[in-house]
Amino acid sequence: MDAPDYAYYSGSYGGTATEAAFDGCLPRSMALVGMLVGRNESESEAAVTAYKRAVCAAADSLATTGAGGSLSIGSVSLGGMDASQARQCAIDAATAELATSGLLWAGLM
């Protein structure tokens, strides 16, 4: 499936990261979503939308938390997030977008 571009991320998805931050997080986000989807493929409009939203959610999470950065929501900031925690936040965000799509892979590799 094709990757979402910044126009989709900032428009349809509603992401707020800068284009540079989105572009920087996109390869890692696609890899994480690829891990979650595994060998499941579908070209239905709903599946393609879920895939794009999952990539955007992962990118948004990584851009917000960063590896070893902090999570900021409004005026509240939580520091000390390590790379493993940032990765898990991105996986959780992507999983939420894929949950009802039928794309989450439950098999073994």
**Are 15 and 1 a contacting pair, CB within 8 Å?**
no
Domain positions in the chain:
6-98
- Between the alpha carbon of residue 97 and those of residues 50, 56, 58, 76, the distances in Å are 6, 9, 10, 25
Distance CA 55, CA 44 (A): 17
**Are 94 and 76 a contacting pair, CB within 8 Å?**
no
Tell me, what's the pLDDT at 7? 97
Tell me, what's the pLDDT at 68? 42
- ∠ Cα 109 2 108 (to 5°): 10
Per-residue pLDDT of the chain (109 residues; tens, 9 = 90+): 889 999 999 999 999 899 999 999 999 999 999 999 988 888 899 999 999 999 999 999 999 876 544 556 666 665 556 778 888 999 999 999 999 898 988 765 4
